[in-house]
Amino acid sequence: MSLPAGSIIADAPCGTGRLAEPLLAVGYRVHGLDISDEMLDVARQRLRGFQERFTCEVADVKTSRPNEPLYDAALCARVLMHFPLDQQVEFLAGVATLSRTTVVINHSLDSVYHRLRRRVKRWLGHQASANYPVSNADIKELLQRSGLREVRRYRLVSLVSEAVYIVAERIAVSPQAT
């Protein structure tokens, strides 16, 4: 994704602004959405130095749908893996309506290897980091049902991490289809 500095990114959900911070630091504007005003209060405090380049609002991303996309891109991080697939679709479809084109998500990948790794971690007493990790087929369904198409995928240290980062773009809807 190459977005010019000054572009505005929707961070949904924003949480405490952990990921908004590096985006603001490299010159983007960020609008955070989160269902929890308490989380946003922490973000407001953390990001007050960026002044009006950071704005935020309380919103339920699963149900609120803007009339038109107001942002150049949207980020959806560290949330989808906490819901069953149908609710992931509700959430991501909401995020997709915020962005004019690009949506970046992260998720937890489910594979034989990662299932085994998770089982070993559970034996060792570690808590599961994702309740609803997804297979490649799930990712395809999730994106498609949310009106998105995968453009690029990134894995960092795939042997020790199940995290997957996906750059997607909105599927254009033809006028006849609406």
Ligand X SMILES: C[S@@+](CC[C@H](N)C(=O)[O-])C[C@H]1O[C@@H](n2cnc3c(N)ncnc32)[C@H](O)[C@@H]1O
Binding range to ligand X, per CB under 6 A, among 11-19, 65-73, 107-115, 148-156:
11-19
The Cβ-side half-sphere exposure at 116, using a 13 Å CA radius, reads: 5
Instruction: Work out how close the CB of 112 gets to ligand X at its nearest, in angstroms, rounded to a whole number.
Output: 26
Instruction: Work out how close the CB of 172 gets to ligand X at its nearest, in angstroms, rounded to a whole number.
Output: 26
Residue from 9, 10, 56, 77 in contact with ligand X (CB under 6 A): 77
| Angle CA 59–178–12, to nearest 5 | 20
**In contact, 114 and 133? CB cutoff 8 Å:** yes
Radius of gyration of the chain measured on its C-alpha atoms: 17
Residue from 9, 24, 30, 39 in contact with ligand X (CB under 6 A): 39
Residue nearest to ligand X (CB): 15
Whether omega before 66 lies within 30 degrees of 0, making that bond cis, reads no
Instruction: Work out how close the CB of 61 gets to ligand X at its nearest, in angstroms, rounded to a whole number.
Output: 4
Q: Does 15 bind ligand X (CB under 6 A)?
A: yes
Q: Does 61 bind ligand X (CB under 6 A)?
A: yes
Comparing CB distances to ligand X, the nearer of 44 and 62 is 62
In the numeric block, the tokens 């998105």 are attached to 148
Tell me how long the chain is: 178
Comparing CB distances to ligand X, the nearer of 36 and 116 is 36
Residue 126's CB: how many other CB atoms inside 10 A?
10
